[in-house]
Amino acid sequence: MKTERLIYLPLGGAGEVGMNAYVFGWGPEGRERLILVDLGVTFPDMDGAPGVDLILPDVAWLAERADRLEAIFITHAHEDHIGALAHLLPRLKAPVYARRFTALIARMKLEDQGRDPAAVTTVGAWPETVEAGPFTVSFLPVSHSIPESAALVIDTPAGRVVHTGDFKLDGNPLVGEPFDAELWHRVATEAGGVKVLTCDSTNVFVPHPGRSEATLGPAIEELIRGAKGMVAATTFASNVARVRTLAVAARAAGRSVVLLGRAMRRMIGAAQEAGVLTDFPPTIAPEDAEHVSRDNLMLIVTGSQGERRAATAALSRGKYLGFEMKEGDTFLFSSKTIPGNERSVLRIVNAFSEIGVEVVDDRDSRYHVSGHANRPDLEAVHELMKPQILIPMHGEHRMLREHARLAQAKGIASEIVPNGTMVDLTGDAPEIVEYIETGRVYLDGSVLVGAMDGVVRDRIRMAINGHVLVTLIVEDDRLLGEAWAETMGLPQAGRSRKLLAEVIEAEVTEHLDGAGAKTLRDDDRIDEAVKRIVRQAALEEIGKKPEVTVVVSRLSGG
């Protein structure tokens, strides 16, 4: 009989920033009772997943073991931690636990998808606990940029695990609880100390200590006071702390505040409803802003990452809900541009430049601070928690590597554990025991599509190569009339100056007219021959090999 063991298996979030999903288990090998921490999304781009709405972790491994899943815990309400819950919960069928505000957002998301919000149970902060099979779990308050962010204290038969979630060391985060070193110290020293710290790695390469959210207000207020005309600022809608900082600064500078963008109004509304944001300054509705002079207005808007449909992009292109940025106005990016979004953000900055709007960005870090612990902050937490084992999570592979190295340099056992790697944490050091097939699932319209299913691959191929359709009618083993070709996403004509479609039609027709009954009786042979001819003709005419779809219609003998 196998002995029992403590396992850890990231299904998402370890090897990327996004779609966090971490499994812990305890029990005999292959029969561990499981819990899942977080179930987030990541955002697609044209390069990798054109037309896709959201990217979710592939939880097939967990879904096959749903009977062993005791519970799902959500650390906080950011999309990369909660965004996949409503889409994947039906496959996992486990109770969901979260603190009040996070639970409220989770229920809203479940209702949006037509699912039962009763799956979510609200839990109070440490020392309140939830029993989940062999695990006793408690939500330990931690400073981040959204209300009620929590680390998890997961007591297991093998010892205490602390899973940091997203955090920074902020004594005055303005929204959510300050980082309470004494509380964390207590968690670290009782119950035999911390066996395992699974720890946020996002900012391990940032060499200086992180700054407090509270340091931003005066600089932003000064900027607004010095501005002429209208002022607008953007940040992540879910960065509730920053939205508040911007609004408070605007009010202090004597301006009326308008929140623009559905996501922002919804997030702030939810925080107020949950009672975790009682000191948000008064705002005015967009439709009331016409009574306020432009010099007295401050817009706080969505779209800090350059999203085409969000308020920031709309304002850079012209009017949005009656608001229009004009020469001499000021636009503040109180945000960091996520790698991959630079071009979209710069497109907006340049569009504002064309209007004559003063754009202020994060170039000198005056108007933005990160919500994640920097390298010295991580070292401070290592010191404070004194874990036996440190597992870096929430980061790209290079960040996990650096974080593991940092821990090892201090004599803490550590291992890089990317998505799909199962480690046994029972002993003194982590031991890799298995590799699980993991990956990504796309929410494409209303359908979940496997990233490897070829659906999006075909779209990328059409985008790169264009698409040619050839239709043929075959009657009695001979081509009836001529082949018909349509091209999509290809130049009309190339080298010969004849229409590409006509060149293709002529070559296909000629070939099939000369082909024997053996070919014309066999759809696969026709398909293969036509594709070859089309690609060759296109290569000669336009220098590209397009995707080809062949439709053969057969008329039963005349």
User: Which spans of this chain sit near a second copy (rule: CB under 8 A)?
Assistant: 15, 45-47, 50-51, 205, 339-340, 342-344, 346, 349-350, 352-354, 359, 363, 396-398, 400-401, 418, 444-447, 449, 453, 455-456, 458-460, 462-467, 469, 471, 473, 480-481, 484, 486, 488-491, 494-495, 539, 542-544, 547, 549, 551, 553, 555
- Whichever of 189 and 353 has its CB closer to a second copy, that residue is 353
- Residue 54, C-beta contacts closer than 8 angstroms, at least 6 positions apart: 41, 42, 43, 44, 83, 84, 87, 442, 443
- Whichever of 188 and 451 has its CB closer to a second copy, that residue is 451
Could you tell me the smallest distance in angstroms from the CB atom of residue 136 to a second copy? 35
Q: Does a cis peptide bond (omega within 30 degrees of 0) precede residue 127?
A: yes
Exposed/middle/buried for residue 172 (C-beta within 10 Å: 0-12, 13-18, 19+):
exposed
Could you tell me the smallest distance in angstroms from the CB atom of residue 6 to a second copy? 25
Could you tell me the smallest distance in angstroms from the CB atom of residue 205 to a second copy? 7
> Could you give the CA distance from residue 558 to residue 541 in angstroms, rounded to a whole number?
37
Span between the terminal Cα atoms of the chain, in Å = 73
- Whichever of 45 and 128 has its CB closer to a second copy, that residue is 45
Could you tell me the smallest distance in angstroms from the CB atom of residue 455 to a second copy? 6
Could you tell me the smallest distance in angstroms from the CB atom of residue 541 to a second copy? 8
- Specify the 3-state DSSP secondary structure of 152: strand
Could you tell me the smallest distance in angstroms from the CB atom of residue 463 to a second copy? 3
- Whichever of 415 and 444 has its CB closer to a second copy, that residue is 444
Contact 49, 456 (CB under 8 A): yes
Could you tell me the smallest distance in angstroms from the CB atom of residue 397 to a second copy? 4
Contact 100, 122 (CB under 8 A): yes
Contact 430, 413 (CB under 8 A): yes
Could you tell me the smallest distance in angstroms from the CB atom of residue 343 to a second copy? 4
- Specify the 3-state DSSP secondary structure of 300: strand
- Whichever of 125 and 473 has its CB closer to a second copy, that residue is 473
> Could you give the CA distance from residue 54 to residue 41 in angstroms, rounded to a whole number?
7
- Whichever of 279 and 327 has its CB closer to a second copy, that residue is 327
- Whichever of 212 and 549 has its CB closer to a second copy, that residue is 549
Could you tell me the smallest distance in angstroms from the CB atom of residue 523 to a second copy? 12
> Could you give the CA distance from residue 512 to residue 526 in angstroms, rounded to a whole number?
8
- Whichever of 145 and 337 has its CB closer to a second copy, that residue is 337
Q: Indicate the angle between helix axes 240-252 and 262-273, nearest 10 degrees.
A: 90
Contact 106, 129 (CB under 8 A): no
DSSP secondary structure letters along 339-380 = TT-HHHHHHHHHHHHHHTPEEE-STTSSS---SS-BHHHHHH
- Whichever of 46 and 517 has its CB closer to a second copy, that residue is 46
Contact 174, 240 (CB under 8 A): no
